[in-house]
Structure 1
Amino acid sequence: MPWGYTVPAVAAVLAVVAAELLVLRTGLFRRAAYWVTMVIVVAFQVPVDGWLTKLSAPVVRYAPGGITGWRFPWDIPVEDFLFGYALVTAVLLLWERGKSREDGA
């Protein structure tokens, strides 16, 4: 299936952002700590993901028709960053939501 990894990656980002803006409303995106957290995540993701996906000796391979083919830096498919963002953000949003429920209970 063309774009078999790209479409779900973009959909995951859109779903998480929509969940925050329309349903959860935790205010997470307005916090500097969130953005610092994302920088830290990317700082670790780049060397690890770069090693796993390097084209010279990949540990993880993607079907060529399943991704855009855009890789940055060090051969990392851009879709990996989208999924990473969505997953980390979803966890933080659910954490914040759970925390506010505990405080209100």
Structure 2
Amino acid sequence: MSGLGYTLPAVLAAIAVITWELVVLRTGLFRKTAYWLSIAIVLGFQIPVDGWLTKLSAPIVIYDEQHTTGLRFPFDIPVEDFLFGWALVTAVLLLWERQRQVRKEQA
């Protein structure tokens, strides 16, 4: 299992978003309860939908296991999907939060 085809970009996306927030934007988003509640809501929808799409018994989306870690949890979801999903949602929320702060500074 090389894991480079899907795992490496997923890990790099998560690291990039974390670095972007902690080094560049510094919005404080990770300290906000509303952020973590938003992530919980996303997971509440992602898990059943992604689980249905990736279930090994009748997959709609098929992953080449050579390009993943092979770890699937829960409902046969590749763990890499959670990294990508988290990075995408968090990047959007960081942009919204930064824009909110800019508008507040301009007011």
Structure 2 residue aligned with 1:31: 32
Q: Percent identity?
A: 65
- Match of 1:44, SS state, is helix
Structure 2 residue aligned with 1:49: 50
Tell me how far 1:29 sits from its aligned partner. Answer: 0.4
Structure 2 residue aligned with 1:99: 100
The letter for the 2-side match of 1:95 is W
CA distance in 1, matches of 2:47, 2:95: 25
Q: Which runs of 5+ in 2 are unaligned?
A: none
Structure 2 residue aligned with 1:5: 6
Tell me how far 1:38 sits from its aligned partner. Answer: 0.6
Q: Which of structure 1's runs of 4+ aligned residues deviate more than 2 A?
A: none
Deviations 1:51-94 (A, max 9, x none): 00000110101111110110000100000000011000000001
CA distance in 2, matches of 1:88, 1:101: 20
Q: Which runs of 5+ in 1 are unaligned?
A: none
Alignment of 1:70-81 (within 5 A): 70-81=71-82
Tell me how far 1:12 sits from its aligned partner. Answer: 0.5
CA distance in 1, matches of 2:34, 2:92: 15
Structure 2 residue aligned with 1:16: 17
TM-score, length of structure 1 as denominator length: 0.96
Moved more, 87-96 or 1-10: 1-10
The letter for the 1-side match of 2:41 is I
Alignment pair present for 1:63 and 2:64? yes
RMSD: 1.1
Alignment pair present for 1:87 and 2:88? yes
